[in-house]
Amino acid sequence: MEKYYINMYFYDIMESFLNRINFKIDIAAHSELGPEWHRSPASSDPFNRIYYIESGEGFLKHAGKLRTLKPGGLHLIPANSKVSFGCKRKIIIDWMHFSASTAEGLELFQILDCKLDIRPENPRKIRADLSSIRKTMSDKSLAAALLRQSNLFSILACFASNVQPGENMAKMESLRRFAVVLKLIEADAANPPSVPMMAKKMKMATASFSRLFKAHFGKSPSRFIMARRIASAEKLVEEGERKLEDIASDLGFSDSFHLSKSFKQWTGLSPRDYRQTKFAKLP
């Protein structure tokens, strides 16, 4: 009975969190790839990836682990996590890039622990969902948008079926506890709150706050803020509509050199190389 109430409490929190997430599909495609498809060294992207392997083999290196890509496998690569990938000969995949984050910059799959590599029970349904997304990407009608969202949720449900409430409870609780400081961080990217200011909002000593924040989010408050600023810079650099000096100013970097240096430290690429890579829209 106690486990039942714990599970219900978790799902109530999770449903509230999901209601705050903005889902957006960036691109979806079907690709036949060869050895030219590779990334090394590892770098990060501000979007999630989904791969469904139709034939051939490849690999991912993510979070210190080697993940093998084989026919029938469905794979998720969370946003803002360093990854390298490639194949030796040929691989055919259905793939997509999508975002799933809250206004405070919390990414769904960095908060939710689930299996990232699965073999779906109904692969035909997965292929149909991915095909539907591809075919409707250029359709801007409300009906098409709703259909794409439905297809995306159907695919993500395969990963959600592996979620264990007990393993995720602490992270869900942290969303409530840290909501006030997360809103402060998101409010002004150019002038983020200091760690002492955030600790004061939480009515905690600075050292205690920093330890608790890192325990919940995997990064110190300062690195969490920098990650958010770099993620915002990635999106603006990819759009290519603004000068680097203006992006640096808006995000609180002293100048374009400071932004470029920090950008390369985090992503492994200069802003220019990053934009050229993203323009190519690699799977």
- Model confidence over 158-195: pLDDT tens digits? 988 766 655 556 666 666 778 788 888 877 777 889 99
pLDDT at 4: 43
59/280: higher pLDDT: 59
- 218 and 158 in one domain? no
- 194 and 272 in one domain? yes
Which CA distances in Å does 1 have to 5, 7, 11, 12?
Answer: 7, 10, 16, 17
- 130 and 230 in one domain? no
Q: Answer yes or no: is 220 within a domain.
A: yes
pLDDT-based confidence at 2, cuts 50/70/90?
very low
Cα torsion through 271, 272, 274, 277, rounded to 10: 170
- 238 and 192 in one domain? yes
Distance separating alpha carbons of residues 7 and 255, to the nearest angstrom: 49
Is this structure's pTM higher than 0.85? no
- 175 and 157 in one domain? no
Contacts of 268 (CB under 8 A, 6+ apart): 41, 42, 43, 44, 82
Q: 267 pLDDT exceeds 60?
A: yes
pLDDT at 180: 82
Q: 253 pLDDT exceeds 70?
A: yes
pLDDT at 3: 45
pLDDT-based confidence at 6, cuts 50/70/90?
very low
CATH number of 158's domain = 2.60.120.280
- 157 and 36 in one domain? yes
Q: Answer yes or no: is 245 within a domain.
A: yes
Q: Answer yes or no: is 125 within a domain.
A: yes
The predicted-structure confidence for 221-248, as pLDDT tens digits, reads as follows 998 888 888 888 888 887 777 899 999 9
3-state SS class at 270: coil
Return the residue matching tokens 């600023």: 229
- Average pLDDT (23-40) is 91
Q: Answer yes or no: is 172 within a domain.
A: yes
Q: 23 pLDDT exceeds 80?
A: yes
- 103 and 42 in one domain? yes
Q: Answer yes or no: is 227 within a domain.
A: yes
Smallest CA-to-CA distance from 103 within 216, 44, 15, 182 is with: 182
Q: Answer yes or no: is 265 within a domain.
A: yes
- 110 and 60 in one domain? yes
- 238 and 140 in one domain? no
Average pLDDT along the chain: 84
**Of 140, 163, 186, which residue is a domain's last?**
163
Which domain does 191 fall in, by range?
168-279
Q: How many domains are there within the chain?
A: 2
Distance separating alpha carbons of residues 73 and 67, to the nearest angstrom: 11
Q: 33 pLDDT exceeds 90?
A: yes
**Of 148, 163, 178, which residue is a domain's last?**
163
Contacts of 196 (CB under 8 A, 6+ apart): 206
CATH number of 211's domain = 1.10.10.60
Q: Answer yes or no: is 5 within a domain.
A: no
- 175 and 107 in one domain? no
Smallest CA-to-CA distance from 104 within 12, 8, 174, 169 is with: 174
**Of 130, 163, 196, which residue is a domain's last?**
163
- 185 and 86 in one domain? no
Q: Other CB atoms closer than 10 Å to residue 278's CB: what's the count?
A: 21
